[in-house]
Amino acid sequence: MAVEDKHKDKYNVKLLGEDMVIVGQLSERYVKKLVHHINIIGQDISRAYPRLSRQRILNLAIMNVADEYYKLKDKYEEKSEDIKTLEKEFKKLADKHNKLKKDYQELESLLEEVD
C-alpha cells in the first residue's frame, strides 16, 4: 500500500520580526491567527523589557504560550470533571423523576379504583 502525500500549504509570515515559511495542513486564517497571537505576546514583552535580546523575547513568548496552554488545559480538565459530575447527578435525578412518575401513576390508578 503506497503512502499518500497529503497536500501541505506554505505560508510566508513574519514571526517576532523574522520572515519564516510555515508549512502544513493549516488554513491561512488559522496561521495568521497564530502568528498574530505570538507577535502580540512578543510586542508586549518588548515594550515591558526594551533591552532584552530577540532570543530572550522569543524564550519568554514561548513560556507565555506554554503558560496559556497549560492553564487552559487545566481549566478544560476541571470543566470535563464538572460535566461528568453533572451527568451523574442528572442521571440520578432522571431516575428519581421516573420513579416518582411511576408512583404517581400507581396512586392515580388506585384513586380511580376507589371512585
Looking at residue 74, its pLDDT comes to 99
What are φ and ψ of residue 7, in 5° steps? -65, 130
Element holding 14 (H helix, E strand): strand 9-15
Instruction: Supply the pTM of this predicted model.
Output: 0.70
Q: What is the pLDDT of residues 8-23, one digit of tens each?
A: 999 999 999 999 999 9
> pLDDT tier at 6 (50, 70, 90 boundaries)?
confident
Q: What single-letter amino acid sits at 105?
A: Q
